[in-house]
Amino acid sequence: MSSLIPVTQEEFCYLLSLLSLSLSLSLSLGVLGFELRTLCLLGRCSTTSALPPALLSILFFYVDTCFQRWTPTFMRRNPFGVDICCRKGSRSPLQELYNPIQLELSNTAVLHQMRRDQVTDTCRANSATSRKRRVLTPNDLKHLVVDEDHELIYCYVPKVACTNWKRLMMVLTGRGKYSDPMEIPANEAHVSTNLKTLNQYSIPEINHRLKSYMKFLFVREPFERLVSAYRNKFTQKYNTSFHKRYGTKIIKRQRKNATQEALRKGDDVKFEEFVAYLIDPHTQREEPFNEHWQTVYSLCHPCHIRYDLVGKYETLEEDSNYVLQLAGVSSYLKFPTYAKSTRTTDEMTTEFFQNISSEHQTQLYEVYKLDFLMFNYSVPSYLKLE
Ligand SMILES: *[C@@H]1O[C@H](CO)[C@@H](O)[C@H](O)[C@H]1NC(C)=O
Ligand SMILES: *[C@@H]1O[C@H](CO)[C@@H](O)[C@H](O)[C@H]1NC(C)=O
Ligand SMILES: *[C@@H]1O[C@H](CO)[C@@H](O)[C@H](O)[C@H]1NC(C)=O
Ligand SMILES: *[C@@H]1O[C@H](CO)[C@@H](O)[C@H](O)[C@H]1NC(C)=O
C-alpha cells in the first residue's frame, strides 16, 4: 500500500483539503443546528431556508482554495497507480515550462510561447488542409517516444538530430543503464524496442500522457532536411536497402532511358528524379512518404497534438539543453556535441535546387508548405516560385 502514502506537494494538499472539507462540514452542521434552534425559539423558522446556500458557499470556498489549484495536475497523475513512484516532490517539466521559478528563463519562455502560437495560428489559418482528419488513432502515434520517469513525450523527426535525441531518451528511460548518450551505438538507438512509443498504450493511458507530459519535437528547414535525406539515402554507396526499396522505383518511374543496371541497383538516383518522385501525385496515393522525407506535419500531427516545446535544428544545443533543464536532469545530462563536417548546409541546399525547374520547385514547396509556415521558415531566397 506504499503508493497510497502522499509524496508530492499536490497530494499532501489534496489530503489537507479533504481534512478541511470534513472539518468545515461538521462545523457548518453544528452552526446550522444552533441557528435553527435559536431561530425556532424566536418563532422565525421559515428564514432558515437561507442557510443551505450559505453552507454551500462555505464548502465551495474550500473546494476552490486547494482543490482547484492543485488537483488538476494531481488528478491526472492517477493517485493510486504506479505513476507516483518516480518524481518525489519535484516539479514536472510542464510546471517548469509554464510557471518557471527562475526569472532568467522568462525570455526563453516567451520565445517558446511565440513558437507555439505560430503553430496554432498556422493550423487555424489552414484548417481546410491541416485538419483534414478529425481524430488520430494509436497508429498515428508511432513517432511519439515516451519517458514516464520524467513525464516527457518526444516526437522524433528523422534528419533532425533524431539519433542523438533517441540516445538521450534511452539514457532518460534507462534507469541507470546508461550515463553517457554517446556510449550508445547509433544503430542501437534506432532499434524500435529500445524505446516505448505512445501507440503501445491503451486509449485512457494515451490521453492521460498527452495531457500531463511535456510534449516536444525538433524541426529543421524543410528543404535542408530534404537534401540531407537525399544525400544520406541515395548518394552514399553503402546503403543498399534504400536503393532497392525506393531507388529502383524512382528510376523506373522518372528516368526515360534507364539502363538495366540502374533499374536493378537503384543506386544513382539524381536529385531531380527524387524531386519528381516527391511531387508525383501517384507517390503519396500508393503509400505514405518514407519517414525520412515525410513532412513533420504528417509525422507528429502538430495540429492535433499541442506541442509544448518546438526545438529547432538551427539552435539545437540551446533548445535541447532547455528541454533537459525543464526535465530536471541538466546537472548530469547535456546534449552531445558532435563534429558537423558532413552536415547539409544552406549553401549545399541552394546548389541542389539550382537544377530543379521553377515548376517543380513550386510544386515541391506546396508539398512542404505547412512545415514552412508552421515552424516559421521563410521561403528560401534561392527558390524561383511561379
Ligand atoms: C519568425 O521569424 C522571423 C524572422 O525570420 C522573426 O522575426 C519572428 O520573430 C519569428 N516568429 C516566431 C513566431 O518565431
Ligand atoms: C540503411 O537503411 C536501412 C533502412 O532504413 C537501415 O536500417 C540501415 O541501418 C541503413 N544502413 C546504414 C549503414 O546506414
Ligand atoms: C533513348 O535512347 C534511344 C537510343 O539510345 C535514343 O534514340 C532516344 O533519343 C533516347 N530517349 C531519350 C528521351 O533520351
Ligand atoms: C546539375 O546538373 C548538372 C548538369 O546536368 C550536373 O553536372 C550537376 O552535377 C547537377 N548538380 C547537382 C547538385 O545535382
What are 379's three cell numbers? 521561403
Cβ-based burial of 128 (10 A; exposed 0-12, middle 13-18, buried ≥19): exposed
Closest residue (by CA) to atom 2 of ligand 4? 355
Distance 241 CA to ligand 2 centre (A): 7
pLDDT at position 12, please? 54
CB of 241 sitting under 6 A from ligand 2: yes
Distance 260 CA to ligand 3 centre (A): 14
Q: Report d(CA 28, CA 26) in Å as an integer.
A: 5
| Closest ligand by atom to 355 CA | 4
Cβ-based burial of 127 (10 A; exposed 0-12, middle 13-18, buried ≥19): exposed
pLDDT at position 127, please? 81
Of the candidates 284, 277, 226, the one whose C-alpha atom is nearest the C-alpha of residue 249 is 277
List b or e across 252-262, with b for residues whose CB sees 16 or more CB atoms inside 10 angstroms: eebbeebeeeb
pLDDT at position 4, please? 35
CB of 239 sitting under 6 A from ligand 2: yes
Work out the widest C-alpha separation in the chain, in whole angstroms: 109
Q: Report d(CA 240, CA 85) in Å as an integer.
A: 46
What are the φ and ψ backbone dihedral angles of 309, each rounded to 5 degrees?
A: -145, 125
Closest residue (by CA) to atom 8 of ligand 2? 239
Ligand 1 is surrounded, with C-beta below 6 A, by 114-115, 118, 376, 378
Pairing of strands 144-147, 152-155: antiparallel
Closest residue (by CA) to atom 1 of ligand 4? 355
State the number of CA atoms in the 13 A half-sphere of 50 facing the CB.
6
CB of 232 sitting under 6 A from ligand 2: no
Q: Report d(CA 140, CA 300) in Å as an integer.
A: 8
Tell me the three state secondary structure of residue 312: strand
Of the candidates 5, 10, 4, the one whose C-alpha atom is nearest the C-alpha of residue 68 is 10
Residue 215's DSSP bridge partners are 153
Distance 252 CA to ligand 2 centre (A): 22
Q: pTM for the complete prediction? A: 0.75
Closest residue (by CA) to atom 7 of ligand 1? 376
Helix 358-374 / helix 106-125 crossing angle, nearest 10 deg: 130
Place of cell 499541442: 306
If you compute the radius of gyration of the chain from its CA atoms, what whole number of angstroms results? 28
C-alpha 287, offset from chain centre: 24
| Closest ligand by atom to 257 CA | 3
Write out residues in the chain with pLDDT < 50, as ranges. Answer: 1-9, 13, 39-40, 45, 47, 63-88
pLDDT at position 265, please? 86
* 197 secondary structure, DSSP code: B
Q: Which amino acid is at 278?
A: L
pLDDT at position 118, please? 97
* 314 secondary structure, DSSP code: G
Q: Report d(CA 24, CA 158) in Å as an integer.
A: 57
Distance 3 CA to ligand 2 centre (A): 44
Q: Best mutation site among 347, 349, 353, 355 for ligand 4, i.e. most ligand atoms within 8 A of its Cβ? A: 355
